[in-house]
A and B are shown apart, each in its own frame.
Chain A
């Protein structure tokens, strides 16, 4: 089977259109990033607290906002998380000024006050842990183990783990009757747990708090990683090919990163550590694509001496076109499954790769080679001038 047969498209003659189009997109994107709403930096870089909570029913965002309003002067950002029917929300509070501060506990306390104040003294199956349950059971001793408190704790730790195991699989307990489905509970423990336990309105899925010190650290590391990778790749290509090709490849990289960042800003996607990892991956992927073309150019230059570089480049792009599309296609397929089925935690990561692969494929054809060609022209001209002098 064959999708792309022999082609002879004069890609390089579209270079002016392509460069113009890309420049325009980048210009708009950069303007949007720096003059407009800007990049949505996550708490990894600006410092703050982020808490993900799952609710029994449809969460009322206004009610939650109201409940959290007294925690701090900063307004908490509250948004839906993941699929609507999962009833999950994400709460984000930026750190005020330069202070280190963790809002996880205040947030959870405020939610408890608002939703579960009736549960005081009751064991909340949705927020408390296995150890706490084991402690409670050891104290009440429904199985009549007697003996030392530590022995009793030992005895009740397995059933307590089993109860929490259910929450792990199901996300949360709907009612105490869900305890019937937990395996490994003695009738006494089951009855007793049902008696002392209640089911709160919400469960904590995850919490993150990054202070300004670590935030600044992470920012610096992310920048270093970015610059070092770019330099490393330019160096490698310079070494393996020639300087014009190195510059061409890096120009394509800047192009890809800038456009992807613009897309992140435009869609208000959060930039956090995994996003940076995705950007670097895309950098690696995009160079990969470019190198395949340049490799072919180098081979063709040896085979057909005397032909113009522009034609050689065009031929090389055409010869590798089929491979370019198939590889981009298969990678796109898997990234798309990640984007669609990978869940919200990894979604922005997949988004970056999705945009990046499309842009990266385009740039290895329309940006890398034209820039390399132009750089080559400039250098050849300069060498000639030197010789004439």
Chain B
């Protein structure tokens, strides 16, 4: 046989082999997008303002306690998140040199403005950006931990957005989206605080009972009033110290548990460092209540009966599920800032399944129709085109599997469309061959000119479609990207199958015949 033909056949076999190898086994190699597998797609925004405010508040507390150690008693620092600053009064007799030292040593991220009787610490140029960036990173890490603990196969969690403050979460196969959303967005900031007053039915009466005005060191937090069996029967308010005794950052672990009545609760263990603080506090406050605060809500305010060091229980009339989820988020860590949902798309498992079934049905129906038409219209050459078409689909699937591309619902539409457009190249060639035959060329010459002339047209026509697909990919999201990918690969594959493979098939057909009289086209 002609060497040229053999080379061509070998090349085709290699390509087919590679495609088949990368698809096999299909159930594992083809990734279904969320719209086909079912699952949740979420875009969250980290409220980094929270982190800025928390940093300023925290800096204020740190300053007061460091100054205290050096013998300077300061009042409470007032933070101003809008201005990115924190202001505190400097007492008349305070040693300003020592204060300056403290600021220099402990507050390197701040600029200091010294006034006559009050100083202001303000973020340096980069500090704000750094704090916001840290908040998003910590948020990402926390979400990662939580999803990991929850146990979702192949989650995708990425940072995105122009300001970088968005987090994209994609969870295939999740069948109860509301629960996952709760788990992800729960801030889960646990604090233990000293109770100064309450419970009281409203803020006003609580203030009255404790002397009328609220000192900046204290705050009023709401909590649930629970009935005899732990059920929520109303709302209560507590006056508590702002500074927490211990926070969730110092938690070692948390797990779901049950009390003697079978009520679910969450049991936690503290890290050794926190255990000392906790032990000292509880020892000196036996007989007084302590508030267990979760996300600025008093979950319970048990009276301290004895010294507690490293473990405790959070009660809150939880269902088994809720207690498990709370333990999970406490273990995984608190979020540095609130999260809000900007976008979410949930595809239930049955809708995804339905889409796959219908998409496949449409592909098969379309494929059969087109194949029938080609064979009827172009006879033997039609069979050539059909072989090219089948090969095209194989290459399309192979390339998608190889690049790890995701098949989406619009992607299926892309496959269907590719079928329609892939035969276009064959149609262009065959029509051209027919024309050339009509003007009296020999079969061989007609095939040569047909392929030659048609190729330029095919190239031009396909490049324009590729341009559209390129911009779709660039600006599209999720499923649309999937569509752009299938369409592009399909078009590229069709250039190989319709031109190279079809040509080779003709060569094989013509082989060994000196003068071919007729061509079935």
Contact = CB atoms under 8 A, between A and B. Distances in A.
Interface string A129-164: 111100110010000000001000000000000001
Interface in A64-109: 100, 102, 104-105, 108
Interface in A238-274: 240, 273-274
Interface string B340-354: 111111111111011
Size category of the B interface is: 35 or more
A382 interface: no
Among B35, B321, B347, B350, the most chain A Cβ lie within 10 Å of the Cβ of B350
A337 B350 contact: no
A323 B464 contact: no
Interface string B395-432: 00000000000000110110011011101100110010
Contacts of A225: 471-472, 474-476
A349 B320 contact: no
Interface string B357-378: 0110110011101100110111
B208 to A, nearest CB: 36
Contacts of A110: none
A299 interface: yes
A1 B382 CA distance: 11
Contacts of A18: none
Contact of B179 (A129, A171, A211): A129
B350 A171 contact: yes
Contact of B324 (A135, A167, A274, A333): A135
B223 interface: no
A349 B413 contact: yes
Contact of A108 (B174, B178, B353): B178
B350 A172 contact: yes
Given A346-B410, A349-B410, A205 B348 contact: yes
Contacts of B423: 327, 330
Interface stretch (A187-195, A227-235, A368-376): A227-235
Interface string A326-337: 110111111101
Interface stretch (B109-117, B198-206, B479-487): B479-487
Interface of B is mostly: helix
A187 to B, nearest CB: 24
Contact of A273 (B355, B359, B462, B479): B479
B73 interface: no
B124 interface: no
Contacts of A164: 175, 349
Contacts of A346: 355, 358-359, 409-410, 412-413
A350 interface: yes
B417 A331 contact: yes
Nearest to B361: A341
A116 interface: no
A284 B379 CA distance: 30
B350 A168 contact: yes
B463 A236 contact: yes
B502 to A, nearest CB: 15
Contacts of A236: 463-464, 467
Interface stretch (A20-28, A178-186, A288-296): A288-296
A281 B414 CA distance: 9
B477 interface: yes
Nearest to A325: B427
Interface in B270-295: none
A237 interface: yes
A207 B484 CA distance: 24
Interface string B56-100: 000000000000000000000000000000000000000000000
A37 B319 CA distance: 49
Interface of A is mostly: helix
Contact of B355 (A132, A207, A289, A345): A345
Contacts of A285: 421, 465
Contacts of B457: 291-292, 295-296
14 contacts: A1-B377, A52-B348, A203-B350, A233-B467, A273-B479, A274-B409, A274-B410, A281-B483, A285-B421, A327-B420, A330-B424, A333-B373, A338-B416, A342-B359
Interface of A: 1, 3, 52, 54, 100, 102, 104-105, 108, 128-132, 135-136, 139, 149, 164, 167-172, 203-211, 213-214, 218, 221-222, 224-225, 228-229, 232-233, 236-237, 240, 273-274, 276-278, 280-281, 283-285, 287-289, 291-292, 295-296, 299, 319-320, 322-323, 326-327, 329-335, 337-338, 340-343, 345-346, 349-350, 353
Interface of B: 35, 38, 43, 45, 174-179, 256, 320-321, 324, 340-351, 353-355, 358-359, 361-362, 365-367, 369-370, 373-374, 376-379, 409-410, 412-413, 416-417, 419-421, 423-424, 427-428, 431, 435, 453, 456-457, 460-472, 474-477, 479-480, 483-484, 487
